[in-house]
Amino acid sequence: MKLMNETVPVNFESLNGELVDVFNNVMWIEEAALKQSDFSDITLKDMHTIDAVSMYSEKSASQVAKIVHLTPSAMTTAIDKLVDKGYIERRRSNKDRRVVRLGLTHKGRVVYRAHQGFHRDLTHNLLKDMAPQETVIVQRAIHNLVCYLANVIKH
């Protein structure tokens, strides 16, 4: 375990604690919000699938599987469910008839936008009462995190 030293700001531990809090809870809160919404028939994981399918590009099933870290077989059943519930459409590509192109239905686009709204609210609240030059610093911090995580991925 690392010990604190003098160069670390005194409230490192409290920041760390709040960060852990955020990570442990966002997912659950998002899930709970979804259950109380008009789209209670899908889970947060379904939501992420819908998000990966997204609005404007026609991604293949395996591309989406990769994004959400599911195996192709799990993706198949996930899509089955979302097709049944009317959020996603399957179309066999004419170019290469092995591939399945995925797209959102009207209902899918509605829930996609709602989910985007949720995330925008988070971002707005992250920046609450911040001066423009302060928001830049926050942005740098989040960017640090993204870079670090990207590095962890490629060990």
Partner DNA sequence: TGATTTATTTCGATAGTCAAACTAATTTTT
Partner DNA sequence: AAAAATTAGTTTGACTATCGAAATAAATCA
> Can residue 20 be called a binding residue for a copy of itself (CB under 8 A)?
yes
Binding partner of residue 140 among a copy of itself, DNA, none, CB cut-off 5 to 8 Å per kind? a copy of itself
Residue 102: which H helix or E strand, with range?
A: strand 100-104
Residue 57 touches a copy of itself, criterion: CB under 8 A: no
**Amino acid in position 116:** Q
d(CA 82, CA 138): 36
Instruction: Kindly give, in sequence order, each residue whose CB lies less than 8 Å from that of residue 105, ignoring residues fewer than 6 positions away.
Output: 86, 87, 88, 89
Interface pick for a copy of itself out of 83, 99, 100, 127 (rule CB under 8 A):
127
What is the maximum alpha-carbon separation in the chain? 63
* 96 interacts with a copy of itself by CB under 8 A: no
Structure tokens at 43: 């889970």
Q: Is 106 in the site for a copy of itself (CB under 8 A)?
A: no
By C-beta, is 76 or 127 nearer to DNA? 76
**Binding-site ranges for DNA (CB under 7 A):** 43, 45, 60-63, 69-81, 90, 95-100
CA dihedral sign, ordered 61, 65, 68, 74: positive
The stretch among 76-84, 87-95, 96-104, 125-133 that binds a copy of itself (CB under 8 A) is 125-133
Binder among 73, 94, 106, 152 for a copy of itself (CB under 8 A): 152
Q: Which residue in 8, 46, 52, 54 sits closest to 30, CA to CA? A: 46
Contact status: 22 vs a copy of itself (CB under 8 A): yes
∠ CA 73-39-108, nearest 5°, is: 60
The binder of a copy of itself chosen from 5, 11, 65, 89 (CB under 8 A): 11
Partner touching 60 among a copy of itself, DNA, none, CB below 5 to 8 Å by kind: DNA
